[in-house]
Amino acid sequence: MTSSTMDQHIERAGEHIFSMGPGDVAALMSEHNMRYGLAKMHFVLEELGHDPDATFIGTPDLTITRNEARWTAGIGYGGKITWGDGSRPVIFLDVKPNCCGMLVGGLQTPPPLEELVRRLDGMLDDHATLDGVTLDWDIGTGNHFVDVMQVEPVDPQAAFPPWCFVLHFSGAELRRENPLGMGLYWDASDELGRRMHVFETPWGPCRTLLDDDAREYFEFFRRAEQFARRRRVMAAQRLFDDFEVLANLHHQGLVHQNAMVLGCQDTTHGGIVPVMLRENTPGYLFHALPNLADDVIDVLGWRERAQRHGVLDQLRGANVIPHGAGYMLPDVREVAAVHTHNDRRYYEVITADGEVHVVLGTPRDLTFAYRGRRVILASAEYRLGEIAARLRPVSVLKA
């Protein structure tokens, strides 16, 4: 493929990115990176005889990912990737689903903080198992946490308990082969290594499952998702007494065989969904809404481009809302260039003082902070959901 043709494919991939992001440096870096990931997916879809219609819908928390394997594969964070209507037996493993999610539990009265610490310490050593899998309680890993919060209803029609807690966990036990199936991560599971097809694209390898392997993987993912839900409930039962489950859903996994949410939540089934910001900043509960509405698509200026590429229905059925605020990069002023050598990409960024150009392969080591309430305001403005309650943080636990 000539350099000119490669540029055309990257431009086409960029046309398949629809961003509600805040337009800051972290969001722009994610959009840059997703062009390469989508170009790889388009390449594979065409090789398989499908329309090259892989699309990324960025949510208001659009940002970088600090997972190096995802980033180098051309994947951003804070949005939904689709590559079909769910009927194509094709799954792209570079997106790395892991069932990470949050459970919100309603409380009448929270336990004293000292008691919570005692229970957490005992839980870390309890060697619990679920479905034959030994659990690794990953509280404190990355941005995982337990929050205890006061509930301030915003919707007068909604009845909430006066207190709640929020658990944010993944399911690292299922990344490799396990009693439930083949494993979630291509770089942790030997079984996936044997089954996956590695398509060599001009922008790097694209690790893909096809046909029966794709179908079997999706069935395994559904078991893994239910496992992760029950795992969060088990953790809540060890930490709290009587509670009411208000929400329990993932924000990093497959929606169907051809769709992946990365750092956002699926609103298809309605209900209550949490959006959490910084540890010292209120979180929010939303009533989930079907989205995106036609008038919102028009306001965003997406209609003509979506119709031209035949992906308008993917926007209409996006059904997404952020799970958090997303990273911002306070020490970076702008992205100056992207340097491509072979199938590797190096991002040239300019520091906030404008004096230093930094070239990096991944943004993992850049100083980061979390955005604030603008993600909440944008989610309400685009009618991704309706604000139901504000959650005032009282205590945060990280092991």
Average pLDDT over residues 134-147: 76
Domain ranges of the chain: 3-397
- The answer, as to whether pTM is greater than 0.75, is yes
**In this predicted model, what pLDDT tens digit does every residue of 229-262 receive, in sequence order?**
999 999 999 999 999 999 999 999 999 999 999 9
**In this predicted model, what pLDDT tens digit does every residue of 350-389 receive, in sequence order?**
999 888 999 999 999 899 999 999 999 999 999 999 999 9
Angular region, 96: left φ>0, alpha ψ -120 to 50, beta rest: left
Of 250, 251, 236, the C-alpha closest to 148 is 236
Average pLDDT over residues 30-46: 97
Q: Report which secondary-structure segment, H or E, holds 145.
A: strand 145-153
Residue type, 371: R
> How many angstroms separate the Cα of 380 from the Cα of each of 80, 138, 176, 266, 357?
18, 31, 38, 15, 37
- pLDDT at 55 exceeding the cut of 90: yes
- pLDDT at 208 exceeding the cut of 80: yes
Q: How many CA atoms lie within 13 A of 380 on its CB side?
A: 13
* pLDDT band at 125; cut points 50, 70, 90: confident
* pLDDT band at 143; cut points 50, 70, 90: low
Distance of CA 8 to the CA centre of its chain: 28
Taking the C-alpha atoms of residue 18 and residue 318, their distance in angstroms, rounded to an integer, is 11
**CATH class for the domain made up of 3-397:** alpha beta
- pLDDT at 138 exceeding the cut of 80: no
